[in-house]
Amino acid sequence: MEVNLSALVRDPTLLRFAAVGLLNTAFGYFVYAVMLWVGLNYAAAAAVGTVLGVLFNFKTTGRLVFRSNDNRLILRFVGVYMLLYLANVAGLSLLVMMGSSAYVAGLVTLLPAALLGFLLNKKWVFRVSR
């Protein structure tokens, strides 16, 4: 997947994705932090946050960002989330092994995960045929 950074920065869907992503991310991180607080380890906490956020995120991202109501895309969306989860846990594991707290590690991985999520959703899930 080739990425043109200057075109990406000018993409109006990126701004919408960022705005909707703030809501989705706040929800996901809140769930993650609560799960850590109740005693789950970071991998399980990330799994719970991801699972609880997927349906909400699918509708907000699809409708508000990419202007899509196509529920048939849910499997691709879930696939993207599975990939993001694996990448996120890898990043969390690395940061925790380097001495970071799981809370801080969760914050540090937010931006890279968001950018990867945008690119995968735009190019694979909600792509517009030309």
- Asked if residue 60 belongs to a domain, the reply is yes
Q: What are the pLDDT digits (tens) for 82-126?
A: 999 899 999 999 999 999 999 999 999 988 988 899 999 999 999
Q: Domain span at residue 66?
A: 5-125
- Backbone angles phi and psi of 67, in degrees to 5: 55, 40
Higher pLDDT, 114 or 5: 114
Secondary structure of residue 95 in the 3-state scheme: helix
- Asked if residue 101 belongs to a domain, the reply is yes
- Asked if residue 34 belongs to a domain, the reply is yes
- Asked if residue 40 belongs to a domain, the reply is yes
- Asked if residue 130 belongs to a domain, the reply is no
Number of domains making up the chain: 1
Contact between 27 and 56 (Cβ < 8 Å): yes
Structure confidence at residue 129 (pLDDT): 58
Structure confidence at residue 124 (pLDDT): 93
